[in-house]
Structure 1
Amino acid sequence: MRTISSILCLVVSFYVNAQNSLDLLDKKIDSIYKTSKIAGFGVSIMTPDTILYENGFGYADIVTKKKYTINTIQNIGSVSKTFIGIALMNAIEDGKLKIDTPINDILPFAINHPKYPEVPITIKHLATHTSSILDTDAYEKSYVFEKGIELKEENYTKEEYGELKLMKSNKQYSLESFLKNHLTPKGEWYKKNNFLKQKPGDRYEYSNIGSALLAYIIEIVTNTSFPEYTQEHILDPLQMSSSGWSYESTNAEQYASIYTEAGNEIPKYQLITYPDGGFKSSIKDLSIYLQGLMKGYYGEDGILKTESFQEMMSPKLTKEQYNTKKELRDNYGFFWEVSPTGKIGHNGSDPGILTLMYFNKKEKVGAIFFMNTSLEKNKDIIRSVQNIWNAIKEYKKIYVNTI
């Protein structure tokens, strides 16, 4: 039988080792930053109940030397899709949607696969990226600069300027109009190859437009705008006060400037198909979000019932849908990546940003990484991100082994 003094020694030893590990993590990440070409980034590591580590590195704005902190706000890219998943499960719990409902039973306009018009596209198809809907080049029309933006060619590389000039030419549309233009026969950008050759349900193909379409359907069945619905059912209950779907809904003073791989500032932009990648948050706020989801997954009813969390985060795809005879390396739930090793989460990448958000269901430890720099072809930046994420994983391993 252990004495009280021996137990106290163990407790003290645990906290000393934990603090030493955090100090080492801090120094490791800082050393990676100092040799990287990343403007700024934030890191968070947590259990369902405790924030183990939160810190910011580098600059939210290079010119003004404004520090990147855990309160810095930026776009999180496709991690936004996890909010569609939560909203979907909430609508199902409220009896306003069923997972196998054909979308044409709800939509005010019909969307059919041109080659298989008799095969209905369902809610489940949209939620698992098996709808047959493709993004194609027309999806790039979703990126729209704020009004009054001027681009100076001398401020960018030739490739950067060409891409940004195309973005500047994009027009503003409502989400409904954008979807109709892409997916209905009379639409401005409609083509038969906006759909896969395979029929709905047969093949996994990641679809931003399909994701935004489901958010639009949620608006219809709830008679509430998607920002209002997520505010009421997710942000307010979790007390996420520094997050939203627009620049106007959050604190403009906390916004990060965003940069190309060459370090050139990208003007602010919005996504017409904003539910698929336009959510704006901070490391601090998104940590609250992930903690709330982890608690739900592990049995604490919150913004959803535990069974809804587990259903949403369980694998749905078959080898046939992936068109592979090999064992699936990663699967997909309802807008959540699910790996055989127990990793659950999502990532997001857009001009000027990268976001990673995952937790391990066995370890019960999660991590988030934000940065305000593009990640496309620059090997140095890619290597820096990999090194940061590896340092996070190493700390998680040490933490799990000490509890």
Structure 2
Amino acid sequence: MRRSIFWLASALALASSSALQSQTPALDSLITLKMTDANVMGLAAAVIVDKKVVWMKGFGYADWQRTRPFMPSTVMNVASIAKPFVGVAMMRAVAAGKLSLDSDVNQYLPFRVVNPYRPAERITLRHLATHSSSITDRWEVYRQTYRFGGDPTEPLGEFLAAYFTPGGKYYAKDNFLEARPGELREYSNIGAALAGYIVERAVGAPVNVYTKRNIFTPLGMTHSGWFMREVDMKNHSTLFVSQNGQTVPILHYGGTTYPDGGLRTSVEDLSKFFIAMLNDGAFGGVRILDAPSAAEMRRFQFTDGNRPTNFPAEDGNSGLFWRTKFNGLRRGHGGNDPGVEVEMLTDESRRVGVIYFSNTSLSGTDRKATGDIFNALWKYGETQRKNP
């Protein structure tokens, strides 16, 4: 009975495919024009109003041969949108008493993580989740974590131990900032991966296994996974890089530090997760996170008393793997990686939300196309609120 109720609720929340792809000629024309101008191969998006999808559509193609339309059900990498999934897993472990946001992370690890410039200062999960841990991504190491042509082969724990342990293969003092934890904001993918590894040890399962069991399956996210082996690659978009007026396909890739950006999902699937986050952790009669934990993820963590010195109030604020963008006007998360431009953002009221996937990396003035399309989708959502 519970399963039947869930699928009925899901159907009502997402509505029918024909209804979600209703006639929106002005919006469709703008999207198509901007895609052409910037050489975007394919994209899909969803507009959410009052925790319901009111519009969902795909444009362009998911392959170089232009034989597969890019659909809301098309799977692709979503880069740093993976981090809120780690955040949910982390907050579930906190709610279960298995982790504390403000304890020294070393009590959860088989190796020690100590900033050599501030050895007496502890690093916490709250630091990791707000990118204020003093851990930095040393590029000559981090770039090696990308594996083009297949899933990663180096175990996450082994990489992290080698990065943080003096004498380790990847260790250097430059893996840290010359600042105490909490003093500076430095976006750190490796810090996020460390949080994911801590969650793994606390819950007794890898992030990919735990999130499938406790997020993907309950929400009916049937096209989502972390590794190529976990998704239908026939439904996976090719990724492209637009440069010098040409759109060039690139190899599929995975990452050793996969909790920081290895998630593969679709607009259709992600809309279920996003609605759950907008709805205090619940979607379609299923709860993936209790309401207080969801509120803590969204809550602004920086105050006048603990704000990083390089992150003034006008630049925005941070939740726990949940952040502000567009000068603090939008909240949620986005992501960029080779062949990937994605956004999952709402406003303070959580009344309007937009999910945007593009399978094409842009640079220079072409990046403006992404902003123009996102803004048009947002305006459509606001219009739907005024004229339901």
**TM > 0.5 fold call:** yes
Paired with 1:365 and 1:203, the residues of 2 have a C-alpha distance of 32
Structure 1: where are the runs of 5+ without partners? Answer: 1-17, 149-170
Are 1:395 and 2:380 matched, yes or no? yes
Counterpart among 124, 138, 141 of residue 144 in structure 2:
141
Identity, % of aligned positions: 33
Change (3 A) 1:218 1:246: same
Letter in 2 for 1:42: A
Paired with 1:76 and 1:343, the residues of 2 have a C-alpha distance of 18
What do the CA deviations read for 1:355-376 (whole angstroms, capped 9, x no partner)?
A: 111112325111111111113x
Change (3 A) 1:354 1:19: closer
Identify the residue that residue 309 of structure 2 maps to in structure 1. 323
Are 1:217 and 2:198 matched, yes or no? yes
Within a 5 Å distance, the mapping from 1:4-403 to structure 2 comes to: 22-137=24-139, 138-146=141-149, 172-262=153-243, 263-296=247-280, 302-318=287-303, 321-324=307-310, 326-338=312-324, 343-362=330-349, 364-375=351-362, 377-380=363-366, 382-403=367-388
Letter in 1 for 2:342: T
Number of residue pairs aligned between Structure 1 and Structure 2: 362
Deviates more, 1:292-301 or 1:69-78: 292-301
Paired with 2:173 and 2:320, the residues of 1 have a C-alpha distance of 26
C-alpha displacement at 1:397, in angstroms?
2.5
SS in 1 for 2:44: strand
What do the CA deviations read for 1:22-58 (whole angstroms, capped 9, x no partner)?
A: 3432232223223331111111101354211111111
Paired with 2:311 and 2:255, the residues of 1 have a C-alpha distance of 37
Asked if the contact 1:38–1:372 (Cα under 8 Å) also holds between the matched residues in 2, the reply is yes
Change (3 A) 1:212 1:20: closer
Change (3 A) 1:301 1:309: farther
What do the CA deviations read for 1:187-237 (whole angstroms, capped 9, x no partner)?
A: 112111110110112221111000000100111111111111111111111
Paired with 2:251 and 2:292, the residues of 1 have a C-alpha distance of 42
Letter in 1 for 2:317: N
SS in 2 for 1:388: helix
What do the CA deviations read for 1:373-396 (whole angstroms, capped 9, x no partner)?
A: 113x3322x121121112112212
Change (3 A) 1:135 1:400: same
C-alpha displacement at 1:78, in angstroms?
0.5
Letter in 2 for 1:38: V
Change (3 A) 1:44 1:147: closer
Deviates more, 1:358-367 or 1:295-304: 295-304
Letter in 2 for 1:370: F
Paired with 1:325 and 1:274, the residues of 2 have a C-alpha distance of 27
SS in 2 for 1:203: coil
Letter in 2 for 1:190: Y
Asked if the contact 1:81–1:276 (Cα under 8 Å) also holds between the matched residues in 2, the reply is yes
Specify the structure having the higher radius of gyration (Cα): 1
Letter in 2 for 1:88: M
Asked if the contact 1:146–1:269 (Cα under 8 Å) also holds between the matched residues in 2, the reply is yes
Letter in 2 for 1:229: Y
C-alpha displacement at 1:65, in angstroms?
2.7
Asked if the contact 2:227–2:264 (Cα under 8 Å) also holds between the matched residues in 1, the reply is yes
SS in 2 for 1:331: coil
Structure 2: where are the runs of 5+ without partners? Answer: 1-19
TM-score (norm 2): 0.87
TM-score (norm 1): 0.84
Change (3 A) 1:27 1:294: same
Paired with 1:190 and 1:246, the residues of 2 have a C-alpha distance of 27
